[in-house]
Chains A and B, each alone.
Chain A
C-alpha cells in the first residue's frame, strides 16, 4: 500500500518526514447497476436539462446557485488563483490535552509512519506526547485544502486525524432542560454502569447485514462454478516441481554427455 500523503512534521528545530497511510477501509459489498434483460452495465450520460443535448466535459462550467435558478459562473482559473500553495509540512501550532477534544471534530484518521531518517525524532515526539498525555494540533495543505490536524500518540504508533474547523460543526438544533436527578437514582445508575464495564474489543462487533450479504453472494458464485472443490492435498506447485524433477531423473542419458542443445 502506498502512502496516501507524505508530509514533514516540523517540531521545534527538527523536521520529521512521515508517510500517512489510510487507517480504515471500506469492506462493504457494493453493487453495480445492470440492465435486467441482457445484464449490460448501466452508464450515465450527462444531458442538459435546458436543451436536452448530451454534454461532454469541455462544455461544462461551474456555477454557484446563489438564489433559485440564479447562478454565478466561476472559472477554473479563478479557483486556481485562490488555492493554497502546496506545502509539505505540518506546522505544529500548539499542544492540547488528549481527552479535551470532542470527537465531533475528528474527520479522517491516518496512520503516520516515519520515513527513513525520521525514526528517532518521531519516536521522541510519540513517547513524550504519550508521557504527557497530550496531542499536537497542526495545520498543513492536503490536496488543495488548508487542513487542520491532530497528531495523536498511541502505545505502538502515531495517528494523525484531519479535523473539522469550528465553522464546519453544526450548532445543536434542539436543547433540552435537564431535570434534577436524585442521589439515589444516580447511585443506582452508577452501579448498573459499573456492573457492565468490560474492556472495549472492537473485534467483537460485526456488521451482520454485510455478513449475510457476503454469504448470499458467495453461495451464488459457488452455484455458478461447477469446479467448486479441487483436490488439493499435494498442491499444484509441488506436483509441477516433482514432475519436472522426475522426468529429468527418469530420462538420464545413457552416455555421460548431455544431448547437444540446439541454438535458441
Chain B
C-alpha cells in the first residue's frame, strides 16, 4: 500500500513570500491563525493528526479524537491546530501543550483550554489526490466534507478585499493574513509564491544570545523584542 493516506506521506505546502496588504480579484484572503500547522488524516475509524515534522499530535489533544465524526469522507485536511484563550488563538498554549506528556496534565489542559482544528485545505478525498484541483474547487469540496462544531472548523476567507481585511485584523491585534491565488494548485512540501503571508509585525531589531547558538539541541529560536526574554524554542518535539 503506497497510498499517501496509508503511508502518511503528505507534506504540507509552505508560504513562500511575505508581502504588503493588497486587493486582488485573483486572490482570497484568510486569517493567519497562531497555532501549529497539522495535517489531519481522517477516515471512518478516526483521525491521525501529524505536525510538520510528521509527529503524531493525537496524544497531546485527546479532545480532538472525535473530530472524524464530523467529516463525511475519507480525506486529508490541511489546517492549523489552535488553542483559544480569551477569544484569541494563543500560540504559547499550543506550545505548552505539545511539550506535555503527563496524561492527566493534558486532560486538565484540554478541559481548561480545549484545542480546535481549523481546516483550510483538502489534499485527498476518497482514494485520490485533490491537489491538482484549483484552490477554489478544493475550498468548496472542503465545505461539503466538514460539518463544523466547536472542535473542527473550516477557515473563512474574504474575496478581493485584502487591504480592508488586513486593516481589520491589525486593529484587532491578530497575527496577520494569508493571500492565496484562486487558481493555485497544492504541491507537497513546496514553498509556494502563490501563498503570501501578510504579517502584523512591528519591525524591530532582534538579538540572539550566543549561548543559545552553542546548544545543539535547540533547532530554533523564538524571538522576543527584549533579549533577556529570548527563549530557545524546542522545535524538535
Contact of A235 among B149, B163, B165, B172 (CB under 8 A): B149
Distance A13 CA – B213 CA, assembled complex (angstroms): 38
Among listed A45-53, A94-102, A138-146, A241-249, interface-contacting one: A241-249
Min Cβ gap B67→A in Å is 11
Among listed A25-33, A62-70, A71-79, A178-186, interface-contacting one: A25-33
With A1-B55, A27-B104, A248-B161 in contact, do A241 and B155 touch (Cβ < 8 Å)? yes
With A237-B118, A248-B161 in contact, do A214 and B31 touch (Cβ < 8 Å)? no
Determine if B101 and A25 form an interchain contact, defined as CB atoms under 8 angstroms apart. Answer: yes
Min Cβ gap A22→B in Å is 9
Identify which of A221, A235, A253 gathers the most chain B CB atoms within 10 Å of its CB.
A235
With A232-B150, A234-B150, A258-B164 in contact, do A27 and B103 touch (Cβ < 8 Å)? yes
Min Cβ gap A142→B in Å is 17
| Residues of chain B contacted by A237 (CB below 8 angstroms) | 33, 82, 84, 89, 116, 118, 153
Contact of B84 among A217, A236, A258 (CB under 8 A): A236
Min Cβ gap B21→A in Å is 7
1/0 contact trace for B15-31 toward A, CB 8 Å? 00000010100000001
Q: Interface residues of A, CB < 8 Å — how many?
A: 32
Determine if A235 and B31 form an interchain contact, defined as CB atoms under 8 angstroms apart. Answer: no
Q: Interface residues of B, CB < 8 Å — how many?
A: 39
| Residues of chain B contacted by A82 (CB below 8 angstroms) | none
Q: Is A218 an interface residue (CB 8 A)?
A: yes
Determine if B104 and A214 form an interchain contact, defined as CB atoms under 8 angstroms apart. Answer: yes
Min Cβ gap A104→B in Å is 28
With A221-B108, A258-B161 in contact, do A244 and B150 touch (Cβ < 8 Å)? no
| Residues of chain A contacted by B156 (CB below 8 angstroms) | 241-242, 244-245
Distance A247 CA – B168 CA, assembled complex (angstroms): 9
